[in-house]
Amino acid sequence: MLRVALFAALPLLVAGCDQLGIESAKAVAEKKDAEGRAIGAACRHAGRAIEDCFGLNKKADKAAVFAGWKDMNDYMRENKLDIVPPQGAATAVAKDAASEDAQDEAPAEDKPAKKKSS
C-alpha cells in the first residue's frame, strides 16, 4: 500500500522540480537555441557578416546563430529593410583602431629614428 502511494506521488514530486528552479535539459537546449537565433538576427540587422558574428560570439551555438542570421536576412529582403549600423562600444573600438592606423601613417619626421644594429 505504501509503495502504491509513493508511486502515485512520484509525478507530483518530479513536477515540483520546475518550481524549484531546476531546468530540464530540453529547456536549456531551447534557451540556447533561442539565444543563438537572437544573436544571429541581431548580427544580420547590424550588417555584420556571418563570419564576424561567429567570431564575436564564440560560445553561441553556430547552427542557431546561422539560422537566426538567415531568418533575418530573408525578412529584411522581403520587407526591403536597410541595415542599422551598430553604435556604442563596437563603434568606439573601430574608431580607436582607425586612430591607431592614422598614427602609424604619420610623417617620418614625427617618428623616432630606428637604430641600426650591427
pLDDT tens per residue, range 59-77: 999 999 999 999 999 999 9
93: cell is: 573600438
Residue keyed to cell 563570419: 51
Classify residue 24 by burial, with Cβ atoms within 10 Å: 0-12, 13-18, 19+: exposed
Share of the chain above pLDDT 90, in %: 48
Going by C-alpha positions, the residue among 61, 83, 87, 88 that lies closest to residue 72 is 83
Residue keyed to cell 537572437: 38
Judged against a pLDDT cut of 80, whether residue 90 lies above it is answered with no
Give the separation between CA 114 and CA 42, rounded to whole angstroms: 46
pLDDT at position 24, please? 87
Q: What is the pTM of this model?
A: 0.59
Query: 15 falls in which pLDDT band (50, 70, 90)?
Result: low
14: cell is: 518530479
Going by C-alpha positions, the residue among 91, 73, 89 that lies closest to residue 81 is 73
Q: Which of 22-26, 40-44, 70-74 has the lowest mean pLDDT?
A: 22-26
